[in-house]
Structure 1
Amino acid sequence: MRHFILPTSLLAAIWLLLPLPAQSAPCLLVTLTGTMSGPALRNGVAGAGTLVRYGEDSADCGTLKLQFDAGRGTELRLSQLDVEPGQIDAVFLTHMHSDHTEGLVDLLLARWNWSSGGAALDVVCSSDAPSPLGFTLSCGKFVAHIGDAFVQSGEIAQRVSEDKRRLAGGPAELVHLITFEPTDEPQVIWSKGGVRVSAIRSTHIAGHASYRVDTPAGSVVIGGDASNDSAAPPRPTSTSAQVEKLAQGAEVIVHSTMHPVMGPERDSGMPPPVFYRQSLAPDLGAMAQRVGARYLMLTHLAPQVGATHHGPYKVPGGALTEADYRAAAEAGGFTGTTIVGSDLATLRLPAK
């Protein structure tokens, strides 16, 4: 057998022609898991929620998975993204309205059924918040009793009898509750690796908080249903001064919005208190421009694109289009990219 030895110079030339291995870099994905506003229902649109994923390119940006709010259908939307219930690292709730929380029951039941032996899920929310109307809004009690109906029905005991690895107390046993007192200044309330989540007090109902996620790939603010501290005009803007403070320098703002067409003066039938506790699309555009955001993701749309009614309230002039929402944000002076929310709409940083 004859052996051939290639010259060193030729080997070097061949090596230079070979494709280099892919370079891994940090990346961030922001996905709207639900874009419906309030308890209204329309065409299968899921309730409010945003999934933030962070990691390396080589891991599809998904090493860390954070869910902000969990309205109805959240678990179904996560399944469409191939995100298993046991893979969520933490859930952050902006406030105690059912359109932002009822999907947490589904998520926790699925995690309890299939991942009872896994780590407890961090559920992060504000501490008990007394309402000026005389009652208390309590995320802690909501989570503590989240599985009570299934315990009382006997389902939990029945399923435990089939698989002893399931926790006898039901899904509440899988929760690691983290509460904080929202303030007018950003505070770090959760962190893992190089990712930090900060919160700030914002106005909608008692105990409302907005969040910011800072990662090496970029920053995203989730405003929830935040609005101005002043409940009604006269006020310079419908947006939250606290959220604006939180959003300074962030690339992405995800925020609920109300279109001005639903205003009480437009004969929509919407009660003024409902209209005034949301941020209007033009004011969100103005805020996003002031803080230097590159992307504004409008979600929790009131009304939904294509709807002639928002619940019992009519849309004066007929159904709105995505272009109507973009035009409203641009009317506020925003020159970045406006994404009019639809379920599973996803933004990647850095863009490919």
Structure 2
Amino acid sequence: MNDTIAAISSAGGPIGLIRVSGERAIEAVSAVFEAKNGAPLTDAPAQKLVYGVLRDQKGAVIDCCYAVAMHMPHTYTGEPMAELQCHGSTAVLRLALEALFQQGVRQAEAGEFTRRAFLNGKMDLSGAEAVHDLITARTAEAAQNAAAQVMGAVGSPVHEMREELIGMIAHFHAVVDFPDEEIDPLLFDEAAALLHRVTSRLYRMAESYERGRILREGVPCVILGRPNAGKSTLLNALLGRERAIVTPIPGTTRDLIEENVKVGQLLLRVTDTAGLRDTNDPIEQAGIDRAMAEANASSLILAVFDGSTPLARRICWCLPVRRDTERWPF
């Protein structure tokens, strides 16, 4: 990790952000950035935006922008860092990166800033994993859950429990190794109480994993029904747009169509499937087999019935689906 890395850290828009981290981060940015006040960025106060112009490797002006220097250890990665806040043009950001590369900076790998933060002790493994969850969060609730983990909602309690257990073990070894030192022995009841408390806390944290997984990934949900029961129409209605093709021809949907639908505070991973019926068409049967497999893997099934037909003629399912069932009972 002795080299200096850079990457575009914005997702498009009017403002583009280039982040640089490493031993020569501030020096490299200072070489391509000319502050309006004439002072080099290396002399600028930490965490203070400085206005100036950005130049390419030939000295031509690329953009008018801001730069900021960040000194270790008070940085995201624990290394010297600098950032350029430019206009969000793809051409501007590309030229800015090329100018930095001419200064010996290299392109950062995916997730490398967070990896450096972890290796430099700026965050624990749970926090590093939560950064990815925060970046890919698809709901406000998922983002809040990931942000809490980044701030130590998981790592801090685990660290506290670890310290308590290490203290108990150290006391135990002291009693065993130095019996003549008149060290008060750790009472069995105290040790048992500590172990019970830690175990209960770990169980509560483990139980919260499923809630976090649902917030992060959503609830797998499959739409099932006979051909032309309205499955694809339901998917389109949930999405508010024409995602699946709807025709009066039975068997229009052959393959799985998956989309994310937010219902209240819950994210559903909704999958539209082929209509369930007996068929001699091998392609349609393959779609039905996929629908059955998807149903077995889902947590929620939306069963769609054709309200224009009598109840006695509607399909009858045995739910939940048995994994050894070869086909749906009709």
With structure 2 as the length reference, what TM-score do the two structures score?
Answer: 0.24
With structure 1 as the length reference, what TM-score do the two structures score?
Answer: 0.23
- Considering fraction of residues, name the structure with more strand: 1
Choose 1 or 2 for highest CA Rg. Answer: 2
Between 1 and 2, higher relative CO (CA 8 Å, sep ≥ 6) is seen in 1
